[in-house]
Amino acid sequence: MRRRSWVATGLMIACGVASAAPAEDAALAHARRILQQSILIDGHNDLPWALRSNKQAHGDLAAYDLRRTTAGQTDLARLREGRVGAQFWSVYIPSELAGGFARTQLEQIDLARRMIARYPESLQFASTVDDVRAAHRAGRIASMLGIEGGHAIENSLGALRAYHDLGVRYMTLTHNSHNDWADSATDQPVRHHGLTAFGENVVREMNRLGMLVDLSHTSPETMHDALRVSRAPVIFSHSAARALCAVPRNVPDDVLRELPKNGGVVMVTFVAPFINQEVARMTAPLMAGLIEKARAAKNEEEVERLYKDAFANLRLPTTTIGMVADHIEHIRTVAGVRHIGIGSDFDGNDDWPVGLTNVADFPNLFAELIRRGWSDEDLRLLAGENVLGALQRAEAVAASMRGEPATKLPVFVPLPECASMPSDVPFSREGIFGDTDQPNSLRPDERGSGWRSLFDGRSMRGWRGYDSKQVPPAWRVEAGALTLAKLQPDQSRQGRADLITDVAFENFELRLQWKVAPGANSGLFFFVREGAADRIWKTAPELQILDDAHHEDGALPSHRSGGLYDLYPPACNAVRPVGEYNDARVAVNGSHVEHWLNGYLVTSYELDSTEFRDRLEQSKFRGEPTFAKVRRGSIGLQDHGDAVSFRSIRIRELPPAGGR
């Protein structure tokens, strides 16, 4: 997965350093016998990208002939010498480029499949466990495909299904960069805090297809989310133990402890900066800023040159086979012997342990483990049976889901970040509420401008339940905010209701701050009219309040924060990370309405326009006779059963329609 996977930031602690014993012919001979009798599966080899990026071959299979000794770490003779029985060929594509991911991905899948077909005496395409065992019986190397980075699906589950049809049997959820639905281990700042609702759907669809979820490169939050959602075992196709080498690309112990319940497998990589802490200390500073530079690159060649130049003159300390064995044994100790495998990352990097530098060297690692007392049975599990077991269980899960329809929401449409919008987009750089240490107080200049407070931070005076004279008991005043707790599965909705103001308003400017808990949903209503319908949303327009990243509604643009629910999506993404307060503003003057979020005008519309009526006919409000029909009503806060807080709620009345 290329040298750029070395990104390593954050706290680092000492890697285990163990000196490999001198080569012993008996142990090495024993290792070769075990591997000859077993199916050695390597979880990650970047040969297809090496074929593409090689300056002499440029993807020409004849020019990069695997029947000869190649310039890289992989060819047929060395695969045989290394006793490789099955190989996941990584069809890696860079995540740093501006776009065109699907095209490049299809080209790499095509290149890998043509490469496999070119050597029928040695390689045999495989997509199931049965295929792997059949190839092994025939004396050929079973060849499977793995995608490295969810950016390749371009937010389309249809693309994911097409890749599966082409033979892809695992997908790494991220590469070095966050994508629109999952966080990477090596990109900052955190974007989603794990998987979004769409990301969870990606995992579910991979389960339905029988495609392994690969968590190498992902953040710990993404790892935990995937383990929670996945019904099938996950893999880490090329990672090591963070407890021994504290780089973000490695797997923390708390994740390792979850693997037995899931049935997943960590396939240990040989890449020196992931194995040896001293190497990591030297490479991490060089990686600083390289991802951003790579994103600005014009093409693949420029990306390659950036990484090559950064490390051209670097002299690294020695990494030993014993260090790799230390990682394997640590994972065995924490997760168990049935949750480890091999994922070299050959042809994706340049710096390797001594004696473990190409595909011929796998027996050397197994010899080291034999010297440490490993049993033949445990060596067979490590070599490939663990991974075959995970893939077989994934196939069984897919069979059990065969009657289920394809996951909905085939395309996720990301919004542009408001901060990246052209300068002519209206933007207020002034703070909305002034001193946030006193969020519910009005400044003298605000009072002079006609603002009045609807909430003093201490009581619920001026508020009551929809179609009720009482304040619903589920609403509380906590920490200076109107707060609603999450409705638990065993609780009834008795005592819960939407909250509205006692006073009705016509032309006004309303400002408030809101925040939601992870996965939560709420809303800000205006023009609320009681008695016209049994639900507040059937009468009143709603500024959507949502954890866009983790609530399933976040997959729909017209349901995202700041928009007019189910009618007008926000023009851009201005929402702050979950758990932080957002500044919201609604300005209403006659038929004209504006929604502002964190200083950005994200939505505006005319209630009396033909466009509004047309959108209404296509929405869930079609046929609701009272929806948005009045121009005077209460302000409402939604009880959607989720945890939400509101503060700094203030309003001022505007002159009749004319000025804005």
Catalytic residue set: 44, 46, 148, 175, 217, 238, 345
d(CA 568, CA 626): 19
Q: Report yes or no: 482 and 465 within 8 Å, Cβ to Cβ.
A: no
Which DSSP category does 382 fall into?
Answer: I
The one-letter amino acid at 370: I
Which stretches of 189-245 are assigned E, i.e. beta strand? 212-214, 234-239
SS3 55: coil
d(CA 222, CA 238): 16
Please spell the DSSP secondary structure of 455-477, one letter per residue.
Answer: --SS--TTEEETT-SS--TTEEE
Please spell the DSSP secondary structure of 422-435, one letter per residue.
Answer: -TTS-B--S-SSS-
Q: What's the 3-state SS for 289-342?
A: CHHHHHHCCCCHHHHHHHHHHHCCCCCCCCCEHHHHHHHHHHHHHHHCHHHEEE
Cα angle: 52, vertex 54, 59; to 5 degrees: 35
The two beta strands, 634-637 and 499-501, are antiparallel
CA 229 to chain centre: 13
36: exposed, middle or buried (Cβ count in 10 Å: 0-12, 13-18, 19+) = exposed
d(CA 43, CA 146): 9
Helix%, strand%, coil% for the chain, nearest 5:
35, 20, 45
- Please report the sign of the dihedral spanned by the C-alpha atoms of residue 609, residue 613, residue 614, residue 618: positive
What lies within 8 Å, CB to CB, of 293 at 6+ separation is 306
Q: Say how many CA atoms lie within 13 Å of 160 toward its Cβ.
A: 33
Beta bridge partners of 227: none
d(CA 446, CA 206): 54
d(CA 173, CA 591): 45
Cis check: omega of the bond before 252, within 30 degrees of 0: no
Place of tokens 């969020």: 439
Please spell the DSSP secondary structure of 96-154, one letter per residue.
Answer: SSSS-HHHHHHHHHHHHHHHHHH-TTTEEE--SHHHHHHHHHTT-EEEEEEEE-GGGGT
The one-letter amino acid at 529: R
